[in-house]
Amino acid sequence: MKVQCELCPKMCLIQPGQSGECRVRINVDGVLRTVVYGYPCSINIDPIEKKPVFHFLPGSTILSIATVGCNLHCKNCQNWEISQANPEEQDIPAYFCPPQRLVALTKEYRCPSLAYTYTDPIVYYEYTYDSAKLAKEAGIRNVLVTAAYINEQPWKKLLEHVDVARIDLKAITEDFYREVCSATLKPVQNALILAKAAGVHVEVTNLVIPTLNDKPEEIRQLARWVKANLGGETPLHFSGFYPRYKMLHLPPTSLKTLDMARQIGMSEGLDYVYIGNVASTEGQNTYCPGCKKLLIERSGYTVLQNRLKDGLCPDCSKEIYGVWK
């Protein structure tokens, strides 16, 4: 008997014994099963700045997990070795870590939050959901790092237990999503709007890829969309691309292009625009949108100084968007 997975917009029709596009949700005797529940292939402690999430407990550590699999197949994927892997692959072992153990580990290592990251938590939805629910009950915050290619109903349900959604808006055109990611743009935009409406702290990342989505007009359109639909206070991160996976023929994004993207973002009225994956000083710092003074100084993943006082600018008392304690 065929099954249909209604988790993401791909709506895979799965034959008996086969998996969906994500490789980790399979049809076993007419029942949809997840093979990665409780089996992450990566568990590490990262700085929160690595996600990148800049307006949530700066300088804190975050226990970060991923399982193999992804519902997107981005040709530029930086983590393709795990995102495009099958669970059966011998060179990518998993660890047995059910939700209870995961929450216990997060507490043991004194991490205030738990990140579902590296691949995409959408494909290990049940593991993410159960872990996030347990974590929340234990006073741990949940951070999703995702492309948010998910249907509305499961997304809304998951958001009930999520504190932060760091969402990739990979481009602002359907063409890019179709040709580079084998996906579509609309569901991602919808998921972003829903996350913001649910009161979740949202930060957006856009990976700027030379020749594919680095045109000033496209960047302007993306920044405008963020401002109009998520609000000018939403942090937007422009990340530098490095040649990986099926895009080895393109050069890395130059600092000049990223600086240009940042300038466009700010000129469109976004309060917090950052650049990442490159050595930059200004582009990693947080400035007060009111008095323009430096609030948080960063270098790489390190916070050098944090001048915020209870979420307010110490100079002009402007409230700064974020979760600060």
Min. distance of Cβ 166 from other proteins in angstroms? 8
Asked if residue 299 lies in contact with residue 279, where contact means CB atoms within 8 angstroms, the answer is no
Q: Which of 54, 56, 125, 274 binds other proteins (CB under 8 A)?
A: 125
Helix (H, G, I), strand (E, B) or coil at 161: coil
Per-residue interface string for the shown chain with other proteins, residues 237-276, x marking contact by CB under 8 A = ----------------------------------------
* Of 254, 200, 244, 183, residue with least CA distance to 21: 183
Closer residue to other proteins in complex, CB, 77/320: 77
Binding residue (CB under 8 A) for other proteins from 15, 18, 28, 316 = 28
Cis omega (within 30 of 0) for bond into 98: no
d(CA 103, CA 41): 16
Complex with other proteins: residue 44 or 285, whichever CB lies closer: 44
* 42-47, strands of its sheet edge to edge: 42-47, 61-66, 113-116, 141-146, 164-168, 201-208, 236-240, 273-276
Is there binding between residue 283 and other proteins (CB under 8 A)?
no
> Does the footprint of other proteins cover residue 230 (CB under 8 A)?
no
C-beta contacts of 11-20 below 8 A and 24+ residues apart:
20/71
Q: Using the rule CB under 8 A, which residue among 44, 173, 184, 285 binds other proteins?
A: 44
Give 306's strand partners.
296
Which of 60, 75, 94, 133 lies at the binding interface for other proteins (CB under 8 A)?
94
Q: Which residues bind other proteins (CB under 8 A)?
A: 1-7, 13, 25-26, 28, 30-39, 42-47, 50-52, 63-64, 66, 68, 78-79, 82, 86-90, 92-97, 105, 109, 117-118, 125-127, 145, 151, 153-154, 166
